[in-house]
Structure 1
């Protein structure tokens, strides 16, 4: 469908195609947690403090590429300074995710 958002998630070396719609979840963390049944993922509920939802993105654009709120400080505490390392709870489900590759990192 025209309004679908399609991207690929890599978890433990497995490529998982995801199709969703704008606003279908509050953020990427909730989508990943529900769709992939991830345990111990997103423990703080999406406020950007626990860093249990760290992902590596490839190809993300637009406003979704910007780090805001608690995200830079939380990632810095763990030694992540790269622009493509993100907290999935801080990424909204928008067309910015079309054709993006998202790798779930173990922290």
Structure 2
């Protein structure tokens, strides 16, 4: 029996505008790709998702589970820019899972 895919709903804030997003688990490799494609963001995610360029920095609220944990290159990259807050993230390091349901993602300008 195939597992039913449920919608994942969250809000993105870009330039003060709230944008509701509905997607499904795994529909994009990560949040950076979703934001880049859905919002047509220029100069966003320039390193292609390896967690080194910090052109996909977001402020998060309401992310749960494993998605709330910084991993790989993310802490070092953010620290170099002076970001040490737990809720400042690289969107390329956040996967599209149910952990995003109900979250708020604010795109930061660097």
**Offset at residue 25 of structure 1 (A):** 0.1
Pick aligned residue for 1:37 from 34, 40, 46: 40
Mind listing any 5+ residue stretches in structure 2 that lack a counterpart?
none
Q: State how far apart, in whole Å, the 2-side matches of 1:80 and 1:61 are.
A: 20
Which of 39, 47, 52 is 2:50 aligned to? 47
Q: How does 1:83-98 map to 2 (within 5 A)?
A: 83-98=86-101
Distance 1:4 1:13 in 2: 25
Aligned-partner Cα distance in 1 for 2:71–2:10: 22
Separation in structure 2 between the aligned mates of residue 26 and residue 96 of structure 1, nearest angstrom: 15
Q: Which deviations, in whole Å up to 9, do the C-alpha atoms of 1:19-75 show, x marking residues without a partner?
A: 000000000000000000000000000000000000000011100000000000000
Give the unaligned 5+ runs of structure 1. none
* TM-score normalised according to structure 2 size: 0.96
Quote the Cα distance in structure 2 between the aligned partners of 1:58 and 1:41.
Answer: 20
Structure 1 residue corresponding to 2:18, chosen from 15, 18, 25: 15
Counterpart mapping for 1:59-74 below 5 A: 59-74=62-77
TM-score (norm 1): 0.98
How large is the RMSD of aligned CA atoms in angstroms?
1.1
Distance 1:19 1:71 in 2: 25
Aligned residue pairs, count: 107
